[in-house]
Amino acid sequence: MVLSIGSNLGDRMAHLQSVVDGLGDTVTAVSPVYETDAWGGVEQGAFLNAVVLADDSTCDAYGWLRRAHELEDAAQRVREQRWGPRTLDVDLVVVHDGSDEAGVEVTVDDDVLTLPHPYAHVRAFVLMPWLAVDQEATLTVAGRPTGVEKLLAAVDPAERAGVRRTGHVLRFGAAS
């Protein structure tokens, strides 16, 4: 499973770390942390973003969505404005149906959940951290699995330039 996490309110690093801590031993990898100008046209401060890879064969896509919402609620996320500022944003990008990340990508399209994430393929703040943690990553776009590296190359160069790697590190596993 691939999660994109972001925060631009309060202690941004603490909010990101709360996701990693909240997922515990299901976390298999965490990307470097990037700073990104806000996306979506709403005037607000910059985000810290990262990607978390996790695996829990007992959790389906809706279970992961519940976990994501619980983590956002614990960070006192307020949903007042689309693409507005937030303490924590936890987006499911991809969920696999196997017991590891090599399983088949789950496709869902209903009123509650859309997988794979419908905008991940055009968001440098998702693709860059994901590629940093998994250089072989693929994402299904328009029914075709496509390498994340290829998807990132297709993103506007100005948007790619707006995603800046920081020196921040999220701790997980034995490093926690």
Query: 66-99 pLDDT, tens per residue?
Result: 999 999 989 887 666 666 688 899 999 999 886 5
Task: Give the mean model confidence (pLDDT) for residues 139-161.
Answer: 95
Q: Enumerate the β-bridge partners of residue 163.
A: 36
What confidence score (pLDDT) does residue 101 get?
55
> Two tokens at 34?
């990037």
What are the φ and ψ backbone dihedral angles of 132, each rounded to 5 degrees?
A: -65, -30
| pLDDT surpasses 70 at 129 | yes
CA distance 145 to 111: 24
CA distance 111 to 33: 31
User: What percent of the chain clears pLDDT 90, i.e. is strictly above it?
Assistant: 75
Domain ranges of the chain: 2-171
Indicate whether this model's pTM tops 0.85. yes
Could you give the C-alpha distances from 142 to 107, 119, 145, 146, in angstroms and in order?
11, 12, 8, 10
CATH homologous superfamily, domain 2-171: 7,8-Dihydro-6-hydroxymethylpterin-pyrophosphokinase HPPK (3.30.70.560)
3-state secondary structure the chain: CEEEEEECCCCHHHHHHHHHHHHHHHEEEECCCEEECCCCCCCCCCEEEEEEEECCCCCCHHHHHHHHHHHHHHCCCCCCCCCCCCCCEEEEEECECCCCCCCCECCEECCCCEECCCCHHHCHHHHHHHHHHCCCCEEEECCEEEEHHHHHHHCCHHHHHCEEECCCCCCCHHHC
